[in-house]
Amino acid sequence: MAKPTPSVSGWENGWYVVPHEVTWQDLDAMGHVNNAVYFTYFEWARTKYWLEMVGAIDPASIGFIVARAECDFRRELKMMDLAHIRVRVSAMRNSSLDFVYEVVNAATGEIAATGKVVVVLFSWQERRKLPISDELRARVEAFQRATS
């Protein structure tokens, strides 16, 4: 896969990178990205990562739910900044996995925020959590290894 460009996701230095130009709707009254918006950035990057990894375009193929989310804010992002939303899986347990994030100002290289989201594999039909299969575990590891 190619390196990310301002409009195309890609792999760079072990991170799956989703570019995002900060828009008016991302801002709060102070003129910088609102703290809650970072979780939307995480969600979008996680979705893009997952869909590419499983080779799908249908959001219904996302077989997990969010169990926990955290974010540490470091620097502000402002209107028209190009952000690189970096994501990768850092840990897998029995039925949950951790996505970790960095939101970086692409122009300055400064990290605006870091975060972690724990997701639990989930069957929407059966309404219950699922174990991580050996196949999925291998797929995540290969996806990250082959493209980093």
Over the stretch 88-107, which tens digit does the pLDDT of each residue have? Answer: 999 999 999 999 999 999 99
In 3D space, the residue among 107, 117, 118, 100 whose CA is nearest the CA of residue 84 turns out to be 107
pLDDT band at 141 (very low <50, low <70, confident <90, very high): very high
The span from the CA of 133 to the CA of 130, in Å, is 9
Mean pLDDT over residues 77-96, rounded?
Answer: 97
pLDDT-derived band at 8, boundaries 50, 70, 90: confident
What integer pLDDT is reported at residue 6 of this predicted model? 63
Band the pLDDT of 3: cuts 50, 70, 90.
Answer: low
Would you state the pLDDT for residue 64? 96
| Burial of residue 86 (number of CB atoms within 10 Å: 0-12, 13-18, 19+) | buried
Cα–Cα distance measured from residue 36 to residue 27, given in angstroms and rounded to the nearest whole number: 10
Judged against a pLDDT cut of 60, whether residue 148 lies above it is answered with: no
Secondary structure element (H or E) that encloses residue 65, with its range: strand 64-73
DSSP string, 83-124: EEEEEEEEEE-SSEEEEEEEEEETTT--EEEEEEEEEEEEET
pLDDT value of residue 147: 64
Query: For residue 58, what pLDDT band results from cuts at 50, 70 and 90?
Result: confident
Distances from the Cα of 116 to the Cα of 64, 70, 91, 99, 133, angstroms: 15, 5, 11, 6, 22
Per-residue exposure over 127-146, b if at least 16 CB sit within 10 Å of its own CB, e if not: eeeeebeeebeeebeebbee
Question: Contact 83/74 with Cβ under 8 angstroms?
Answer: no
CATH number of 10-147: 3.10.129.10
Q: Tokens 């990310």 identify what position?
A: 4
